[in-house]
A and B are shown apart, each in its own frame.
Chain A
Amino acid sequence: GQNIDQPTEMTATEGAIVQINCTYQTSGFNGLFWYQQHAGEAPTFLSYNVLDGLEEKGRFSSFLSRSKGYSYLLLKELQMKDSASYLCAVRDNTNAGKSTFGDGTTLTVKP
């Protein structure tokens, strides 16, 4: 089985940088995903890490350390539209190769 932990809520200021952490425990790790979900809408894919290190995509970056069971999503130059829930999901080969989602972190960006 898997255990995925993320903070429930975070608040940050427009223009700032915020880091959302995700820790997981799994026996057959095969990739970690970050999704963004605006209230009442569908989740949309943000990033994918399968090897250790940092993946950068514009204002968003995602980091993975497999040995520590740890990932973070870094959002730079925050905008009001970044207010959303951010879901961490872990793919596990012992779980039929499918992903399990964390409960998400609700980020509120304030002016």
Chain B
Amino acid sequence: DADVTQTPRNRITKTGKRIMLECSQTKGHDRMYWYRQDPGLGLRLIYYSFDVKDINKGEISDGYSVSRQAQAKFSLSLESAIPNQTALYFCATSDFRVETQYFGPGTRLLVL
């Protein structure tokens, strides 16, 4: 079984809709991250969490929110989706001692 899972893997939604992307991990890591990747571009950090009660904004947090429901779960919400949020979204986890990141398979989101 995969250590980091994301649901859904693909999602099509309409402008203005609220959607949630979910991430779960079985690696026992304390740190979790949400990134977006646009075609031909690198990873941009949306939000990160170092512990259950810790939530921090990344470089592009506007229009997004997160919830760390448990050590193993970290959800990303788009409050009111817009077309320029169409992207590939990755969740990642790491251990604070080394910070090697382990990525989920990604969620491909299309906002019409």
Residues on A lying within 8 angstroms of B by beta carbon are 30-31, 33, 35, 40-45, 48, 87, 89, 91, 96-104
Contact present for A102 and B99 (CB under 8 Å): no
Within 8 A of A (CB), among B55-73: 56
Interface string of B97-112 (1 = CB under 8 A from A): 0111111111000000
Q: Separation in Å of the B83 CB from the closest CB of chain A?
A: 20
Total A-B contacts with CB atoms under 8 angstroms apart = 49
Q: Which residue of chain A has its CB nearest to the CB of B6?
A: A42
Contact present for B106 and A41 (CB under 8 Å): yes
Q: Is B43 an interface residue (CB 8 A)?
A: yes
Other-chain contact of A42, B41, B94, B104 (Cβ < 8 Å): B104
Within 8 A of A (CB), among B7-52: 31, 33, 41-43, 45, 48, 50
Q: Which residue of chain A has its CB nearest to the CB of B101?
A: A99
Residues on B lying within 8 angstroms of A by beta carbon are 31, 33, 41-43, 45, 48, 50, 56, 88, 90, 94, 96, 98-106
**Alpha-carbon separation in the docked complex, A97 to B33 (Å):** 13
Contact present for A42 and B50 (CB under 8 Å): no
Q: Separation in Å of the A82 CB from the closest CB of chain B?
A: 19
Q: Separation in Å of the B66 CB from the closest CB of chain A?
A: 15
7 sample A-B contacts, Cβ–Cβ < 8 Å, listed by A number: A43-B90, A44-B103, A45-B100, A87-B43, A96-B56, A98-B99, A99-B94
**Alpha-carbon separation in the docked complex, A102 to B37 (Å):** 12
Other-chain contact of B99, A41, A44, A99 (Cβ < 8 Å): A99
